[in-house]
Amino acid sequence: MIKQKETIENNFSIFCWNIANPSVDRASRQADWLSKRDEDVFVLTETKNSKGCEFIQEYFKKNNYSVIFIKPEGKEYGSMIISKHQLEPIKFYDLDDNLKNRVVSVKVFTNNKFVEIIGVYIPSRDKSFGKIQRKKKFIENLGKSFKLYDNNSNRIFCGDFNILEPNHIPHYSFFKKWEYDFYSFLTDYGLFDSFRHLNPRKKDYSWVGRTGDGYRYDHCFVSKHLLASIKKCYYLHEPRNERLSDHSAIILNLNL
């Protein structure tokens, strides 16, 4: 049995990963692989109301992890947070729409202190009007949520954003200004890209297309107060190379 940690020590780590709505077989391999890792919190995106995601939820619950996963309705996607520490849901994105389960917001407690974690799976899109408007509206609602719920000094915002930084290399012309603007909004709001903070010029990617082009879709932003606490932020390509998912994971290590 995996022993649940009672306190967060100086080192606190987050493992953020798009698990691509796995089958039960792949979910079993994902859960076994994750359970051997040392990170404190797993933020999993592209979840669904499926047998595979239910398997992951129950697997970690049985092993004394705290799990927050509100199953999305119908064919919609969501996010899940799994923790070796006690989680408490908090209000953040509470708009009544069918995309609300793409956002999971929690407090992670330790000795009357907490870190606030917001995990998100922003919709992807194609060229169709409906999917463009769907993604645009969701990003607008995220912006409203940030303005409604003031920035906590210990806030971490992470997940598969399906957006790129404005100066992403290579540049992809099919991304629109409003998509790049959301990245800029986060910085203006007081949240900062942990990977880019430590690696101003490094090229690394969390998803690679069939043509071999890389995309840095998965991000870990932190509030300004936490910038000095960042020890490491990097992409782990093992789960993509091992075909556990089509995404690499992003890992954030903090010294709290």
Asked, as a colleague might, if the bond just before 170 is cis with ω within 30 of 0, I would say yes
Percent of the chain predicted with pLDDT > 70: 95
At residue 103, φ and ψ (nearest 5 deg) are -115, 130
Which whole number is the average pLDDT over 49-56?
Answer: 98
Cα 242 to Cα 237: distance, rounded to the nearest angstrom: 8
Query: Which domains can be identified in the chain, with CATH numbers?
Result: 11-255 (3.60.10.10)
Give this prediction's pTM.
Answer: 0.94
Task: Give all strands of the β-sheet with 191-193 in edge-to-edge order.
Answer: 87-89, 103-110, 113-121, 155-160, 218-223, 191-193
Which whole number is the average pLDDT over 135-142?
Answer: 95
Which whole number is the average pLDDT over 233-251?
Answer: 98
Cα 169 to Cα 12: distance, rounded to the nearest angstrom: 30
Run of H or E residues at 187:
helix 177-189
- Residue 104 contacts residue 119 (beta carbons within 8 Å): yes
Please tell me the predicted confidence (pLDDT) of residue 2: 45
Cα 247 to Cα 215: distance, rounded to the nearest angstrom: 10
